């Protein structure tokens, strides 16, 4: 796969005081409620924008996750937060997570279209199906829908959303004062969707958005997750530990996109990297060690037990994982993360304590401690050798880790001609090097008899 020169994608994945679970315990970390502080996130978005990063991103789940004792908990609704960030920034893309299991497509398509309008074409949606039974109980369900059913609903959800985003053609608005006609009704379309999960008439309340539709991101790496991404996504967030696994995933997903009739360049693969940056390798490793020593194993042990679907009493800190863990097929939660964690423990023969240490930095994303040049070397190698189109930058500590990345790593990437020195476009699609999707009604209207075969 050849990349366009200088077109590495860099997305800043933002999370309260940082991705390392003990980041909030460092003396310099923002006190208390960094996870709900607009000021904190405005600062981070502006730092990312000063480094000409492509986008910022917020994860989300409609449930209070994990143990509140463990780390700053609580999250703002990403669309509300991103709307505020749209007013505080000018260029950077704004990507938020929303669940297809616990939303309805009309409301969500409308909100993301609104974000695209108010941000001038910078909106992105990380489409997730939400793993975890606690969320189900916030929506009148006793159990979460099964994994396959969640992905089936997600596909229909996206069909409806894509239809709604196409419901206004680009040139529907006439604003013809002389004739007294504001819009051409023949270019505003109902969708009349009647499917297994949804009945939606349309059209949408918002006009065609600056990007045609928001950038669609997908972050599930199970078989069904990859299929959903291959059909609908413009970008894929993914977690891997090794170059070989990332490269295999990259080739697999690009192949699936081609099987769905798509150009593989139209699906950007962005693995996560958690960079601990130091002016020497020893300094970077000391930063990482300081954080790891602050991990409280009792919380991490509970979390690991939940992910593995075992009784916490069956996990002993200085022993290996139980031998009789379920296969991925039997997992109804987050399948690919389950497999990643079990494979990591088995491949490196880790005890539970060591595994918790490895996951504390980035929850399964690749952690890397080094100098700015070493971090740039890793990014460049994975990009050049066809394992990534860019990266999810997951600073272990915020804001300092993102500030260090922008101040020290971005200049190295620029000096190697890998990364932009100024924004060239205005929309997130332009930053990522993606085309604007054609409106289906306009396309049908402009088909000539020769091309329709009529
Ligand atoms: C970078 C990244 C970010 C993610 N963000 C979210 C999120 O915000 N909410 C969520 O429910 N899942 C999130 N996930 C998890 C996946 O979207 C997916 O729900 C989970 O892995 C289960 O999918 P799978 O069974 O297809 O692997 C994220 C995954 C990655 C790699």
Q: pLDDT for 4-26, tens place per residue?
A: 555 899 999 999 999 998 999 99
- Residues with Cβ within 8 Å of residue 294, at least 6 apart in sequence: 22, 25, 26
Q: In this structure, which residue's CA is closest to atom 7 in ligand 1? A: 59
| Top-confidence residue, 32 or 151 | 151
Residue 302 lies in a domain: no
Confidence of residue 451 (pLDDT cuts 50, 70, 90): very low
Residue 330 lies in a domain: no
Residue 50 lies in a domain: yes
pLDDT of residue 448: 55
Residue 329 lies in a domain: no
Ligand 1 centroid to Cα of residue 229, in Å, is 12
Percent of the chain with pLDDT over 90: 75
Q: Is 256 in contact with 222 (CB distance < 8 Å)?
A: no
Lowest mean pLDDT among 44-53, 135-144, 340-349, 389-398: 340-349
Q: What is the phi-psi region of residue 390: left when phi exceeds 0, alpha when psi lies from -120 to 50, beta otherwise?
A: left
- Each residue of 171-181: b (16+ CB within 10 Å) or e? ebeeeeeeeee
Residue 301 lies in a domain: no
CA distance 5 to 3: 6
The pair phi, psi for residue 127, each rounded to 5°, is: -85, 115
pLDDT of residue 268: 97
The DSSP symbol for 354 reads H
Q: In this structure, which residue's CA is closest to atom 8 in ligand 1? A: 59
Radius of gyration of the chain (CA): 22
The count of other CB atoms within 10 Å of the CB of residue 144 is 22
The helices-and-strands tally (H runs, E runs) of the chain is: 17, 13
pLDDT of residue 1: 52
Among 96, 128, 235, 390, the mutation site with the greatest number of ligand 1 atoms within 8 A of its Cβ is: 128
Strand-pair partners of 276: 369
| Top-confidence residue, 347 or 51 | 51
Span 313-320, mean pLDDT? 91
Q: Considering its fold, how many domains does the chain have in total?
A: 1
pLDDT (tens digit, 9 = 90+) per residue, 288-308? Answer: 899 988 988 888 888 889 888
- Domain with residue 73: its CATH number is 3.20.20.30
Percent of the chain with pLDDT over 70: 97
pLDDT of residue 17: 93
Instruction: Show the domain range for 174.
Output: 9-281+367-452
Indicate if the alpha-carbon torsion angle 152, 154, 155, 161 is positive or negative: positive
- Residues with Cβ within 8 Å of residue 31, at least 6 apart in sequence: none
- Given a cut of 70, whether residue 129 has pLDDT beyond it is yes
pLDDT (tens digit, 9 = 90+) per residue, 181-240? Answer: 999 999 999 999 999 999 999 999 999 999 999 999 999 889 999 999 999 999 999 999
pLDDT of residue 176: 98
Pocket of ligand 1 (CB under 6 A): 59-61, 97, 126, 128-131, 219-222, 224-225, 237-239, 272, 334-337, 392
Residue 72 lies in a domain: yes
Span 126-135, mean pLDDT? 92
Tokens at 299, concatenated:
């919380």
Q: What is the DSSP string of 98-154?
A: EESSSS-HHHHHHHHHHHHHHTTS-EEEEEE----HHHHTTTT-SSPPPHHHHHHHH
Q: What's the predicted TM-score (pTM) here?
A: 0.93
Residue 333 lies in a domain: no
pLDDT (tens digit, 9 = 90+) per residue, 52-71? Answer: 999 999 999 999 987 888 88
Tokens at 274, concatenated:
């958690």
Lowest mean pLDDT among 110-114, 167-171, 242-246, 370-374: 242-246
Indicate if the alpha-carbon torsion angle 329, 297, 349, 253 is positive or negative: positive
pLDDT of residue 327: 83
pLDDT of residue 15: 94
Ligand 1 centroid to Cα of residue 237, in Å, is 8
Tokens at 134, concatenated:
């606690």
Among 16, 154, 219, 271, the mutation site with the greatest number of ligand 1 atoms within 8 A of its Cβ is: 219
pLDDT (tens digit, 9 = 90+) per residue, 355-372? Answer: 888 887 777 788 899 999
Ligand 1 centroid to Cα of residue 65, in Å, is 13
Q: Is 8 in contact with 419 (CB distance < 8 Å)?
A: yes
pLDDT of residue 358: 81
Q: In this structure, which residue's CA is closest to atom 22 in ligand 1? A: 334
Q: Is 304 in contact with 350 (CB distance < 8 Å)?
A: no
- Given a cut of 60, whether residue 344 has pLDDT beyond it is yes
- Given a cut of 90, whether residue 145 has pLDDT beyond it is yes
- Given a cut of 90, whether residue 73 has pLDDT beyond it is no
pLDDT of residue 6: 56
Confidence of residue 452 (pLDDT cuts 50, 70, 90): very low
- Each residue of 33-63: b (16+ CB within 10 Å) or e? ebbebeebbbbbbbbbbebbbbbbbbbbbbb
Among candidates 220, 216, 166, 214, which has minimal Cα distance to 190? 166
Lowest mean pLDDT among 14-28, 86-100, 330-344, 396-410: 330-344
| Top-confidence residue, 438 or 454 | 438
């Amino acid at each position: 796969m050849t990349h366009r020169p200088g077109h590495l994608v860099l997305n800043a994945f933002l999370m309260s005081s940082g991705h390392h679970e003990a980041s909030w315990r460092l003396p310099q970390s923002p006190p208390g409620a960094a996870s709900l502080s607009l000021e904190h996130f405005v600062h981070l978005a502006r730092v990312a924008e000063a480094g000409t990063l492509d986008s910022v991103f917020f994860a989300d789940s409609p449930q209070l996750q994990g143990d509140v004792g463990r780390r700053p908990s609580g999250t703002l609704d990403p669309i509300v937060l991103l709307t505020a960030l749209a007013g505080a920034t000018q260029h950077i893309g704004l990507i938020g997570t929303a669940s297809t299991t616990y939303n309805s497509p009309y409301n969500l398509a409308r909100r993301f279209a609104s974000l695209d309008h108010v941000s001038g074409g910078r909106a992105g949606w990380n489409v997730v199906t939400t793993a975890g039974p606690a969320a189900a109980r916030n929506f009148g369900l006793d159990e979460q829908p099964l994994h396959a059913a969640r992905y089936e609903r997600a596909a229909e959800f996206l069909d409806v959303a894509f239809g709604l985003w196409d419901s206004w053609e680009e040139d529907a608005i006439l604003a013809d004062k002389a004739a007294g006609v504001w819009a051409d009704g023949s270019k505003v379309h109902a969708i009349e969707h009647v499917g297994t999960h949804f009945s939606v008439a349309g059209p949408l309340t918002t006009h065609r958005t600056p990007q045609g539709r928001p950038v669609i991101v997908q972050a599930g790496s199970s078989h069904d997750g990859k299929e959903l991404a291959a059909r609908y996504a413009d970008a894929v967030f993914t977690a891997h530990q090794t170059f070989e696994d990332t490269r295999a995933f990259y080739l697999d997903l690009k192949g699936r996109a081609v099987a769905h009739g798509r150009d593989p360049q139209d699906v950007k693969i962005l693995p996560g990297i958690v960079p601990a940056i130091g002016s020497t390798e020893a300094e970077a490793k000391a930063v990482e060690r300081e954080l790891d020593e602050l991990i409280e194993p009792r919380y991490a042990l509970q979390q690991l037990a939940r992910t593995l679907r075992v009784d916490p009493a069956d996990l002993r800190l200085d022993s290996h994982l139980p031998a009789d863990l379920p296969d991925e097929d039997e997992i109804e939660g987050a399948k690919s993360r389950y497999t990643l964690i079990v494979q990591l423990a088995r491949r490196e023969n880790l005890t539970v304590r060591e595994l918790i240490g490895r996951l504390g930095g980035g929850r399964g994303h690749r952690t890397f401690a080094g100098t700015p040049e070493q971090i740039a070397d890793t990014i460049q190698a994975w990009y050049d050798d066809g394992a990534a189109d860019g990266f999810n930058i997951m600073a272990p500590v915020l804001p300092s880790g993102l500030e260090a990345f922008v101040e020290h790593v971005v200049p190295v990437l620029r000096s190697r001609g890998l990364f932009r020195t100024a924004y060239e476009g205005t929309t997130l699609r332009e930053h990522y090097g993606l085309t604007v999707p054609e409106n289906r009604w306009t396309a049908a209207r402009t088909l000539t008899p020769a091309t329709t075969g009529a």
